[in-house]
């Protein structure tokens, strides 16, 4: 088992279970350890919530955090991922949290790093493992167990790293995963056991919970989505679909209000979106403790 | 009395007096408390000094600070103020310092926040309350009391949140407030008791102290100011107006040298500009202690 | 001797030797002091490694660090260096690390600062003294002494602050400095004792170590370099030049792979580039201790 956190499939079920259990223990803990470590947040794509969530997790555990994004950094000078990783490691960072638009960025970074631990915070269309872990924790809080629960993922499945990580982890936890996307935003290959759902209305009817993906504006311009009104008609989650339903709604954020999800639903009784954000910090604290203070994991889990 | 710091009028005279007294006590204190709190600096408009001042205030009190600005954040993806506040709160920030171009941003944020305290660091043309508090502290240091003192505010009064906060607070402290602006940069309505002054020369002659506002470049292009040379002729504070005068000069910064204020005056004996900056940190520390450690306020004020 | 660190020539040999010795002592130290100081990182030009290196150095010594770059700061509003320095000082920063495109920025900042210490992190074509100190430390680690060692600096000598700082410091330490550049990128005047080398192949043959400078893209467009292929032919350091050679390679980073330096050499046995980065943090910690805790310098050096 590698120390890096590149993807759900790489770390396997045992480590996923441990991270979720650890996040729950941290959420209940009256005191937190202080890890005297340095964490670099290397975000080559814009992000508010993921960066702040990692930053909050690390600083609450007493880590030193240095953040940089592509704007205002040497990335503008054409620095490569490999060069960045080598430099950050030579500066002495113990962990490097990486977000990058290339789908192999985290794997590549992990192959370069000699001492530092790479944590994937989203790489291209590949994976976003801490998002899946926080989604799983949020769903487990709600349902107790995911065995046989039906979880629909709705939106641009084809390009979504959230879908890839969620499908792998939720399947591992016993859930039945369904996907719903316009034909051109569906992947060419779906793993066995994934259910295809024709539109958002039937997905909501089918599901115990729905993870609604953000519609990226660049997709609108790419010709893969016929038009915004066509998209809304079939694939947006609209308030009328939820009348009488007990379905839970998740979204990795930020929501495009009234695009993929009716704005009124964000703060409705169906929504678990704020809990996802809160759980995100606990999951990322669990990742830090798992990486930096393995000896504390048992202590937390035994309480 | 609300816990948020949205505007001078909202917090009222008692809290303003307490914050100013607290800032003075902190300035003299030999030791500072450590507040184990998380502060988000959400700056949707560029700012150096206000952001750094809040950051210095919070970190000197042992707070964890996470800053983000619109560049490089999800704001580029169209995230709204409401979504940002909910997210920051879910991440666990105890206070959110907000700067935003919308005039109702801070009030709106305060209506959204459930646990976190909102501190307005400037919202559109509405208010900039910590600027008014630091201006008042600087003037009180200089004059002892503001009762009957004449304070001229010169520049784009109409669009100025500094004017709105200053006029409210300085009036509350007994000062007579005068305003001086080109006709199109004067508000359609002025509160009772505000004196209109025709040009910078007579404003300087009239005043015990003048707060010179920054001329925003976008105003020059809007047609509201006829030309830069016309503006300079009537509304710039020029060295020759101060010959033989004891008037004090304040400016919220950054100064456009030789535009609204002759560059040579910035470092002159008239200038209180550096003291404003220093006092800004003490005011913002006072705000943090008032929000996070109410039990310490009496301790500081009794020393 | 001034407290500021503007350039190698300003601080002189005694302080350079002390800083290098101090960096070595810190590198070996089992415990580090905590300096309760505030450091501003004022970067008006993009940089990843230099900023992160200073940030890591300061935070490992327990300093509070506030970073800002031109993007998203009031610099966009036309704030001058003088105004920035006065503001940062008034906010209470104890040291200001400055990077700026103007060649007199650090000297100018030092003339403005009243209490804060200015540390030059690169100003225009003038100096980059901590880069020279880390280069010297890296070379001293390798060679024991630089007395009589031949160090070639290859690239855009004319516009390079790294060349100016390196040539001054390495000469001071007894090395023979050679330079190699296209005619239009050679300075009009070279100090006595500097050897001119006609092309990269002969520079590598001549040298015990070569410091390869980054080719700035803006030079390519300026007409000072005839063409990229011409530059590569004569001035790039290519793998074939190093066959059978024991020359060491340094580069201030980030490398343009396969432009000024063949990519394969970056990770080769010749390369000291990662050691430069690691040493950079120790040099900058030495600078902080030298500035903030003079009383600790003897303690470190006696161990």
- Considering chain A, tell me which residue range(s) the CATH 3.40.50.1370 domain(s) occupy: 8-128+277-301, 129-276
For the ranges A40-49, A112-121, B201-210, C188-197, which has the lowest average pLDDT? A40-49
Question: Does the pLDDT of residue A200 top 50, yes or no?
Answer: yes
* C72 vs A contacts (CB less than 8 Å): 71-72
Q: What's the pLDDT score for residue A228?
A: 87
- Residue C279: the pLDDT is 98
Specify the pTM.
0.94
Q: Which residue on chain A is closest to C71 by alpha carbon?
A: A72
Report the pLDDT value the prediction gives residue C72, as an integer from 0 to 100: 44
Pick the residue of A68, A91, A95, A115 with the most C CBs within 10 A to test the interface with C by mutation: A91
Report how far residue A4's alpha carbon sits from residue B83's, in angstroms, rounded to the nearest whole number. 32
Q: Does A52 contact B77 at a Cβ distance shorter than 8 Å?
A: no
Q: Do A87 and C254 touch (CB under 8 A)?
A: yes
CA B279: distance to chain centroid? Answer: 11
Q: Which CATH number fits domain C130-276: 3.40.50.1370, 3.40.50.740, 3.40.50.970, 1.10.10.10?
A: 3.40.50.1370
Dump pLDDT digits (tens) for B220-249: 777 777 788 899 999 999 999 999 999 999
Q: How confident is the model at residue A71 (pLDDT cuts 50, 70, 90)?
A: low
Output the pLDDT for position C76.
44
Q: What is the mean pLDDT of residues A182-204?
A: 95
Beta bridge partners of A261: A237, A257
Q: What percent of chain B stands above pLDDT 90?
A: 82
Question: What pLDDT is stored for residue A2 in this prediction?
Answer: 65
Distance to chain B for A191, nearest Cα, Å: 31
Instruction: Using CA coordinates, name the residue in chain C closest to B266.
Output: C83
User: Could you name the CATH architecture of A8-128+277-301?
Assistant: 3-Layer(aba) Sandwich (3.40)
Q: In which band, very low, low, confident or very high, does the pLDDT at A163 lie, cut at 50, 70 and 90?
A: very high
Does residue B76 register a pLDDT over 50?
A: no
pLDDT at C80: 79
Q: Which residue in the set B52, B256, B275 is minimally distant from C66, CB to CB? A: B52
How much is the pLDDT for B72? Answer: 45
* Residues A284-292, mean pLDDT to the nearest whole number: 97
Mean pLDDT of B129-147: 98
* Residues from A in contact with C at Cβ < 8 Å: 38, 40, 64, 66, 68, 71-80, 83-84, 86-93
| Strand ranges for B226-294 from DSSP E | 248-250
Confidence of residue B123 (pLDDT cuts 50, 70, 90): very high
Over residues B294-300, the mean pLDDT reads 87
CA proximity to A53, closest of A5, A115, A7, A99: A99
Helix axes B8-28, B161-172, angle to 10 degrees: 80
Q: Which residues have C-beta within 8 Å of that of residue A48, sequence separation ≥ 6?
A: A254, B68, B73, B74, B75, B79, B84, B87
Contact C256, C214 (CB under 8 A): yes
Mark yes or no for CB contact A74/C46 under 8 Å: yes
All CATH 3.40.50.1370 domain ranges in chain B, comma separated: 8-128+279-301, 129-276
| pLDDT tens string A82-126 | 889 999 999 999 999 999 999 999 999 999 999 999 999 999 999
Looking at domain A129-276, its CATH architecture is 3-Layer(aba) Sandwich (3.40)
Are the beta carbons of B173 and B146 closer than 8 angstroms? yes
Strand A117-123's sheet: what is its strand order? A64-69, A38-43, A95-100, A117-123
- Starting at the edge strand found earlier in the chain, the sheet holding C38-43 runs C64-69, C38-43, C95-100, C117-123
* Each residue's pLDDT tens digit, A206-252: 999 999 999 987 777 777 777 888 999 999 999 999 999 999 999 99
Q: From the list A49, A72, A256, which residue is nearest B78 (CB)?
A: A256
Indicate yes or no: CB of C255 within 8 angstroms of CB of A83.
yes
The whole-number pLDDT of residue A72 equals 45
* Burial environment of residue C3 by CB neighbours within 10 A (0 to 12, 13 to 18, 19 or more): middle
pLDDT tier at B79 (50, 70, 90 boundaries)? low
Longest CA–CA separation in chain A, Å: 57
With cut-offs at 50, 70 and 90, classify the pLDDT of residue B184. Answer: very high
Say what the pLDDT of residue A47 is: 83
- Residue B74 to residue A254, Cβ atoms within 8 A: yes
Partner residue facing C48 (CB), from A38, A73, A90 = A73
The confidence score (pLDDT) of residue A70 equals: 66
Q: Which CATH architecture has domain B8-128+279-301?
A: 3-Layer(aba) Sandwich (3.40)
Low-confidence ranges of chain C (pLDDT < 50): 1, 72-77
Examine the pLDDT at B71 and tell me if it is beyond 90.
Answer: no
The mean predicted confidence, pLDDT, of chain B is 93
**Of A53, A100, C72, residue with least CA distance to B71:** C72
CA distance A61 to chain B (A): 11
**What average pLDDT does this structure show over B4-22?**
95
């Amino acid at each position: 088992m590698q120390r890096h956190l590149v993807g759900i499939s790489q770390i396997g079920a045992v480590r996923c279970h441990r991270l979720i259990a650890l996040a729950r223990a941290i959420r209940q803990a009256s005191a937190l350890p202080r890890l005297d470590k340095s964490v670099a947040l290397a975000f080559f794509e814009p992000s508010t919530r993921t960066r702040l969530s990692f930053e909050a997790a690390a600083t609450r555990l007493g880590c030193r955090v240095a953040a940089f994004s592509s704007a205002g950094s040497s990335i503008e000078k054409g620095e490569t991922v490999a060069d960045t990783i080598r430099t950050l490691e030579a500066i002495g960072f113990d962990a490097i949290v990486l977000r990058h638009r290339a789908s192999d960025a985290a794997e590549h970074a992990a192959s370069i790093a000699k001492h530092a631990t790479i944590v994937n915070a989203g790489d291209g269309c590949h994976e976003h493992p801490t998002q899946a872990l926080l989604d799983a924790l949020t769903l487990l809080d709600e349902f107790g167990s995911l065995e046989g629960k039906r979880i629909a993922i709705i939106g641009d499945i084809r390009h979504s790293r959230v879908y890839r990580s969620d499908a792998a982890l939720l399947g591992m936890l016993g859930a039945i995963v369904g996907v719903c996307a316009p034909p051109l935003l569906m992947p060419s290959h779906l793993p066995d056991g994934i259910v295809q759902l024709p539109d958002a209305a039937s997905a909501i009817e089918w599901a115990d919970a729905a993870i609604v993906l953000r519609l990226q504006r660049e997709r609108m311009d790419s010709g893969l989505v016929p038009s915004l009104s066509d998209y809304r008609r079939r694939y947006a989650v609209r308030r009328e679909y939820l009348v009488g339903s007990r379905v839970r709604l998740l979204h990795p954020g930020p929501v495009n209000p009234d695009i993929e999800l009716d704005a009124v639903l964000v703060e409705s009784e169906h929504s678990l979106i704020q809990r996802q954000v809160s759980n995100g910090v606990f999951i990322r604290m669990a990742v830090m403790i798992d990486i930096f203070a393995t000896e504390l994991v048992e202590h937390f889990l035994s309480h």
